[in-house]
Amino acid sequence: MLYSIAAFVGSALAIGLFYRAWQSNQLAFKRVAKLGALGFMLVSLNLWVHEYGPELGVCYAVVAFSLQAWSWIFLARQRIDKDIKRIDLPFVKGLGMPGRVESVNAIIKILACVFLSAVCAMLVTVVWTTALSIGKVNLIALGIYSMPVLWGAAAYWLCADSKLWRPVLVLSGLSVLSYISIYSV
């Protein structure tokens, strides 16, 4: 219990130091405070792990840190009560349907984000994880945990690139290459 309290206080101090660093204009103080905050974070993490083991300890550390940060932000909120005139935006009737080109583009994007990104992420994940020299079970677990990140990155790129054909081409190419690498051996 004492370790838990110490860990909780440690992460609160870390947040406090981060806050002071954020507030300060002095570069030297900022650096020291940030280093100190990182130190407290590590100490806090160690204490959580010491008390509850590595699995639960890491979870408690993450949850405590996020909640303390939110609490700190809430307590340090700035109230701006300037007499800002609320502008009533004009009301436009109807749904304002997009044009044909825009709609087709949107459908391609959605399909690519959902299907192409998924297929590419899965195939690429299998290729890169099976290249590692670790046990089968571990590499499958690594793949299951990392595949969503690749999928998300692919979906992000599809929507961020101004030229849709670029990510579509690259993701399709990667998918084909990965497929060949997996199924031609």
Partner 1 sequence: MRFSISPSANKNALKSHAWLGLAVSVLMYWVCLSGALSVFSQELLRWEQPHIADNLDYTPASIQTAYERFLAMKDGITNGNIVVRLPTHDMPRARISADGESWNISPSGTLSEPLSTPITDLIVDLHVALHLPEDIGMMIVSMLGAILVALIISGVIGHRRIFKDAFRLRTGNNEQLTQGDLHNRMSVWGLPFHLMIAITGVYFGLASFLTSIYADTLYDGKKMDLFADLYGTSIQVEHQPKVANIAQALSEIDSIAPNTQPVFVTLENATKDNQYILLGSQHLDKLIYSEQYRFDSHGQYIDKVGYSDGDAGQQALFSVYRIHFGHFGPEAMKIFFGLMGFALTIISVTGINLWLAKRQMQGALNQLWLGFVWGTPIGLTVAAILELTLSLPPKPVFWLVLVAGLIASLMQNVLAKTHHRLLNVLAVLLVVLAVTHFVGHYPDSLVLNSVIIDAAFIVFALCVWRYRHSRVRKGWNS
Instruction: Give residues 34-63 in contact with partner 1 (rule: CB under 8 A).
Output: 52-53, 55-56, 59-60, 62-63
Q: How far is the CB of 85 from partner 1 (least distance, A)?
A: 9
77 binds partner 1 (CB under 8 A): yes
Q: How far is the CB of 26 from partner 1 (least distance, A)?
A: 16
83 binds partner 1 (CB under 8 A): yes
173 binds partner 1 (CB under 8 A): no
131 binds partner 1 (CB under 8 A): no
Which CB sits closer to partner 1, 153 or 169?
153
Answer for the pair 52, 12: CB distance below 8 angstroms, yes or no: no
- Dihedral of the alpha carbons of 46, 50, 55, 60, in degrees to the nearest 10: -70
163 binds partner 1 (CB under 8 A): no
Answer for the pair 174, 150: CB distance below 8 angstroms, yes or no: no
Could you give the angle at the alpha carbon of 23 between the alpha carbons of 18 and 28, nearest 5°? Answer: 75
- Per-residue burial over 23-37, b if 16 or more Cβ lie within 10 Å, else e, is eeeeeeeeeebbebb
Question: Of 91, 99, 100, 101, which one interacts with partner 1 (CB under 8 A)?
Answer: 91
SS3 96: coil
Question: Of 7, 147, 171, 174, which one interacts with partner 1 (CB under 8 A)?
Answer: 147
